[in-house]
């Protein structure tokens, strides 16, 4: 059995995050010691590592919940997990497209800057007036 601190250290996750995952149902409530200390089984470490890695891959919590449900029911077809991963890939591709547009716009602003005074700075002008941008770049969430 692991205390919350040892679990967090082993998984590389902060204690408040573990408590949050418990609160939203991604981690089962642990047993409690006589002193009311949380005690986690080794399986919780595997589950927490799964959640952490999924977060590193950018999966939102709802998708992680779906993936955990599939992992908890191994008789289900893998196609459902593939669908979750495909949704994430689509989201990553869309984000890359937005970032590429932003990169292009920033490069253009910098290239157009003549290096004079701030009053004549093309970077400041472009940031202050979206109409001067050459692309309709969306906000990055």
Q: 124-133 long-range CB contacts below 8 Å, 24 or more apart?
A: 133/105
Task: Answer yes or no: is 66 within a domain.
Answer: no
Task: Answer yes or no: is 72 within a domain.
Answer: no
For the chain, what is the radius of gyration of the CA atoms? 23
What is the value of pTM for the model shown? 0.78
**Cβ(102)–Cβ(140) under 8 Å?**
yes
Task: Answer yes or no: is 18 within a domain.
Answer: yes
Task: Answer yes or no: is 67 within a domain.
Answer: no
Task: Answer yes or no: is 68 within a domain.
Answer: no
Task: Answer yes or no: is 71 within a domain.
Answer: no
> Which pLDDT does position 90 carry in this prediction?
97
Is the domain of 36 the same as that of 82? no
> Which pLDDT does position 134 carry in this prediction?
76
Number of domains observed in the structure of the chain: 2
Name every residue whose Cβ is closer than 8 Å to that of residue 131 and which is 6 or more positions away in sequence: none
Is the domain of 92 the same as that of 138? yes
Is the domain of 43 the same as that of 85? no
> Which pLDDT does position 114 carry in this prediction?
72
Parts of the chain with a pLDDT under 50: none
Query: Residue 27's domain spans which residues?
Result: 1-59
Task: Answer yes or no: is 3 within a domain.
Answer: yes
Tell me the CATH number at 49. 1.10.1660.10
Task: Answer yes or no: is 45 within a domain.
Answer: yes
């Amino acid at each position: 059995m692991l205390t919350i601190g040892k679990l967090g250290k082993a998984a590389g996750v902060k204690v408040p995050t573990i408590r949050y995952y418990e609160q939203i149902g991604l981690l089962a409530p642990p047993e409690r010691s006589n002193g009311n200390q949380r005690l986690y089984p080794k399986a919780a470490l595997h589950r927490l590592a799964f959640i952490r890695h999924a977060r590193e891959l950018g999966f939102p919590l709802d998708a992680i919940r779906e993936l955990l449900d599939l992992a908890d029911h191994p008789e289900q077809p893998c196609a459902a997990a593939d669908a979750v991963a495909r949704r994430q890939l689509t989201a990553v591709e869309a984000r890359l497209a937005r970032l590429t547009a932003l990169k292009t716009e920033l490069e253009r602003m910098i290239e157009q800057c003549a290096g004079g005074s701030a009053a004549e700075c093309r970077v400041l002008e472009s940031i202050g007036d979206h109409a001067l941008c050459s692309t309709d770049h969306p906000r990055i969430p």
